[in-house]
Amino acid sequence: MSHIASSPEEALARAQAVLDRLVPLTRAGQPAQPELLDHLGAAWEEQVQALAGAGRADEAVAAADDWLRHLGDGDAAPGTLPLERWPQVARALVAKGRALSGTGDIEAALAVLAQVQQRFEHAEALPVRQWLARAGLAEVNLRAHHGATFAKVDMVRHAHRLATRFADDDWPATRTLVAQLRLRQAALLAELDDPEEALAAWEALWRDGGASPHDEVREAAADGRLAQMRLLASLERWPEALAIQRSLVERLAATEHPGSLETLALAQLDAILWWHGEEPEAPEGSTAQEQLGLACEAMQARFPLARTPRPALVDRCLSQCVCLHADLLHEQARRMREAGGAAAAQALDAQARALTERLWADYGEHPDAPTRRHALLAHCDGIRQQAAAPAEQLAAWQAVLQRIGDDPAAPLQSPLLQVWIDIAYLQHAAGLAPQALATLDAAQQRFGKDTQPAVQRPLRELACTRAHWLGQAGRFDEALALLETPDEEEAPAEEEPERWLQLMHLDTRADLWALQAPPAPGAVADGEHPPAEVGELTPAEAHCARTVAVMAERFGADDSPRIRQRLAYRLYNLAVHQRDRLHYEAARASNQQRIDLFLDDEDPEIVFRTASAGLNLGYLLMMLMGREEDALPVYDRMLERFGARTEPRLREVMAKLSASRLTCLNRLQRRGAAVSYGDAVEDLPLEQRDALWARIEQARAHHGTKQYRQAIELYDGILGAHVASAHPELRRLCLDAMVNKGFCLGRLGQAEQALAVYGEVVERYGHESNITAEKDVALALANSAVELDRLGRHDEELVVYDRIIERWRDATVADLRMRVARALQAKGITLADSDAAAAEAAYRETLERFLHAPEMTVRLPAAKAAVNLGVLLRRTGRAAEAASGCEGALAQLAHETHPDFAEQLEKLRVQIARGHREAGQRDAALAAYQALLALPPRTLGDTLLAALRREHAELGASRSWREKAGDALGRLFNPTR
């Protein structure tokens, strides 16, 4: 293992200074003290190693030759050299052999190492024999690294022979080499897939050398113990691996030897990584996360963050430990926050930030580049975790670049590039598009020549972002010039990430051409005739279609799920884009290509898109092109392929397809075509169908006049005659009649009878894959919950709400999303008196999921939930939180103009005022009450207005003469007020 290291340039300068001083004193032919020769040899060896480490292998070989010439070595036998020079000649030859291996000339390197063993084979002097052992170890390493399996087998034997040969040499360096030979022998056994022999060899090395008086021997034994522990972990023998890890850490706890410190740091980091990956089973009563936290704390206790001289590898391990510890603390904070422990979560986040800030402060300019990388990554994660205002984030990123933005070290380039990207995205989000583009251009200049894949890949991805932003600015030629165009003759790349990049460049190109298409005409209102088809594509639209065709040809059969998903999405969007611009035939062809290409694909996302494309194609043919006879086979094909699927999203598409198919059959029948609604269903003439729907409308008209019994009679007439029919149109009629009958019974106060009808609705129609049936079943369940609430059967009521929420949780149809939102809000109301925490969770889920919904009917239950939550929080002593939450909801809903929101906005203002008052926030409360009392006189009810004035007065506010005059007039005309 390497200890504290300096740069190659520093090592070369240091070595040259020693050589300049000692070379004149140790020339060949003149006597020299062994100590001087040893110092000279250490300096020359450092020079050779530094040159090799800097990639200057040929110069390293030349330096070794210079060293040999200085020693007076030639082809003469060793006996012609002074004895004191023998160890240094052997040392220089070993250094030359290593340098030659760096040039790639392995045979020459092995020849030099063999020369050492041949020339000094019979030497008995221990200083010489150490170099025989070192040459043997170098040979083992070279042959094992460059040879095949049989070479490794030979080197296992050779390492054993060498270790046995030199085992009794009472020379510290040789003892270390013997330990290293045994260490290498065990590692080769593991590489040869002989784990038990390897484990035994490492165990023996630890037994023999773990307590040696020699530091380097103990280091080699500890390295073997570390390798033994890692092999056990790879075999998933976790109890043994953990036991060895603990014993190794305990043995090395007090060491100050640099190499052993590195081994200790690696052993501690290994345990951290194990627990981070949740690989071992945690002790009983604990968790992997707890063990991870303990392991991180133990390592930081042994190696505190500090600017102290330590092996670079130790700081590298420590910095990674700190990063993982900070991630753990943030994750624990997130979970604590979800559980309602806001204060504890804040403390955990603060602890994590303190760790990463200390790491950045101490190690941001560490000499070791990987350590600087960890410090930078942790600091960047901290900036992102804080979610500060954009201006503060921008200042933080710029401070990073100011400190180490010019650092050329390879490990830092990828995270530094990400800093530039973050700056650009912040600028773009702030509406500073020109500055954002300039930042990306500067990043391209800064990192464009870096050849690392971790840098080049993001830069190529960034080209797509730059192109998008240029396109948004109308600079289409510049945008298109940034994108790669694959050679049509060239096959797609073998590596998936490269194919993904190729696809994304084509996808962005298609986007840019689509942006240049003319805008789509407005949507057609229900009942209006669709606009006439526009047959010819514009040049931009044609370019877009050709680009997508290239994508389909190159990647349609790709084995990468994300590539096929992206292509499927692009084809889907192309068809929608063409349809919306009235290119019906082009849209039909694009949809058909999309379906044909992916009909048999089983990827869940692609299945959903394919079914949706079928729905769109059917709509296009039936509603826009008037080709019902062509639409019907599309619906049949989709239902046959996907009708049995049960995934929630797909089930909804199937329901829409079923409803559209029925509409298609009805339209064909109305056109006079002979249609079949099924092999086992009765005939339903058009006149009879229209008459039945007319009776439904007649019954509904009775609702408006509250003639519910007459309406029920009409519904019962339809149900009595047709409820058992399998005809899809009659089933739709009966479902409508049954739901409306339940409503009428409820209005008549016959809750039990209404519940029975709703139960029959769910039983008969609850499993139908038809979007109309889905809406009616959801309505029946919602109405049954209302009746259960009236009867005080709240446990059953809650079951119904959960049923609605779970069944339509992922619905995209506005009507079904509204049912889920209402069910969540109503569930909260029902739970409020018995389980405040569960009620709060229901209200918060309603707000989180639906307050920002695009549909007014879906947002309204969320607005009500905001009011309900404010009341609940005040009632449970959290008045300040209630006021703050209601202020947030009011800000979100302040621009609502639909009359249904007026009452909720008023209630939110009341909760804000009362929340501030109860929290003792007098100034905020006064402002809120004054805003309320300034509303038009009849906006607030008399009772509420009086209560608000009283509460306002209790705050000690002086009332205006207008308010006093209003009170006097009120008492004059309404004495009870």
211-233 tens-digit pLDDT: 999 999 999 999 999 999 999 99
The span from the CA of 974 to the CA of 559, in Å, is 80
Q: 967 pLDDT exceeds 70?
A: no
Return the percentage of the chain with pLDDT > 90, whole number: 72
What average pLDDT does the segment 916-945 reach? Answer: 85
- Thinking of the domain 1-123, which architecture would CATH place it in? Alpha Horseshoe (1.25)
Q: Which of 781-786's residues contact partners 24+ apart within 8 Å by CB, and which partners?
A: 781/819, 782/819, 782/822, 782/823, 783/739, 783/742, 783/743, 783/746, 783/754, 783/758, 784/742, 784/754, 784/755, 784/758, 784/759, 785/823, 785/826, 786/746
What is the model's pLDDT at position 813?
92
Please list, in sequence order, all residues whose beta carbon lies within 8 angstroms of the beta carbon of residue 901, skipping any fewer than 6 positions away.
856, 860, 863, 893
Report pLDDT for 664. Answer: 95
Of the given ranges (95-109, 129-143, 452-466, 671-685), which has the lowest mean pLDDT?
A: 671-685
CB 911 within 8 A of CB 883: yes
pLDDT digits over 464-491, tens only?
999 999 999 999 999 999 998 877 777 7
The interaxial angle of helices 728-747 and 751-765, nearest 10 deg, is 160
Mean pLDDT calculated for residue range 874-884: 93
Mean pLDDT on 75-89 = 71
Read off the pLDDT band of 374 (50, 70, 90). very high
DSSP 173-206: HHHHHHHHHHHHHHHHHHHTT-HHHHHHHHHHHH
Put residue 916 in one of left, alpha, beta given phi > 0 → left and psi -120 to 50 → alpha: alpha
DSSP code per residue over 615-665: HHHHHIIIIIS--HHHHHHHHHHHHHHHTT---HHHHHHHHHHHHHHHHHH
The second-level CATH assignment, the architecture, of 390-482 is Alpha Horseshoe (1.25)
Distance CA 185, CA 155 (A): 8
**The pLDDT value given to residue 767:** 87
| Average model confidence (pLDDT) across the chain | 90
| Cα–Cα distance for residue pair 842/848, rounded to 1 Å | 10
- 913 class by beta-carbon count within 10 Å (0-12 exposed, 13-18 middle, 19+ buried): buried
Q: What is the mean pLDDT of residues 533-556?
A: 93
pLDDT band at 275 (very low <50, low <70, confident <90, very high): very high
Mean pLDDT of 115-125: 87
Q: Which two tokens stand for residue 783?
A: 């109405």
Q: What is the pLDDT of residue 2?
A: 38
Q: pLDDT per residue over 295-347, tens digit each?
A: 999 999 999 988 888 999 999 999 999 999 999 999 999 898 888 788 898 99
pLDDT tens digit sequence for 838-874:
999 999 999 999 999 999 999 999 999 999 999 999 9
16-40 pLDDT, tens digit per residue, is: 998 889 888 888 767 778 888 889 8
Question: Confidence band (pLDDT; 50, 70, 90) for 968?
Answer: low
pLDDT at 557 over 60: yes
Tell me the mean pLDDT in the region 95-115. Answer: 92
CA nearest neighbour of 652 among 768, 764, 765, 571:
768
| Predicted pLDDT at 977 | 40
The pLDDT assigned to 939 comes to 66
- pLDDT on residue 974: 53
489's tokens: 């003759």
Question: Is the model's pLDDT at 428 over the cut of 90?
Answer: yes
CA distances from 251 to 2, 246, 576, 713 (A): 20, 9, 69, 91
Backbone phi, then psi, for 599, in 5-degree steps? -60, -35
Helices 686-704, 728-747: crossing angle, 10 deg rounding: 10
Hey, is 106 helix, strand or coil?
helix
Of the listed ranges 402-411, 695-704, 798-807, 964-973, the least confidently predicted one is 964-973
* Residue 442 pLDDT exceeds 80: yes
From-to residues of CATH 1.25.40 in the chain: 1-123, 390-482
Question: Quick one: pLDDT band at residue 4, thresholds 50, 70, 90?
Answer: very low
Instruction: Give the model's pLDDT for residue 82.
Output: 75
Gap between the Cα atoms of 594 and 585, Å rounded: 14
Determine the Cα–Cα distance for residues 367 and 861; give it in Å rounded to an integer: 59
Q: How confident is the model at residue 75 (pLDDT cuts 50, 70, 90)?
A: very low
Nearest to 663 by CA among 694, 635, 701, 699: 635
Instruction: State residue 686's pLDDT score.
Output: 87
Min mean pLDDT across 25-39, 169-183, 816-830 is at 25-39
Per-residue pLDDT reduced to its tens digit, 732-781? 999 999 999 999 999 999 999 999 999 999 999 998 888 899 999 999 99
- Asked if residue 886 has pLDDT above 80, the reply is yes
d(CA 901, CA 859): 9
Q: What was the pLDDT predicted at 754?
A: 95
What was the pLDDT predicted at 938? 63
3-state secondary structure of 475: coil
| Chain centroid to CA 852 | 23
d(CA 610, CA 641): 10
Mean pLDDT, rounded, for 412-416: 96
Residue-by-residue DSSP string for 55-108? T-HHHHHHHHHHHHHHHT--SS-GGGS-GGGHHHHHHHHHHHHHHHHHHT-HHH
Residue 3 has what pLDDT? 37
Position 409 scores a pLDDT of 93
Q: Is the pLDDT of residue 962 over 60?
A: no
Please give the average per-residue pLDDT across 379-390, as a whole number: 85
pLDDT at 972: 47
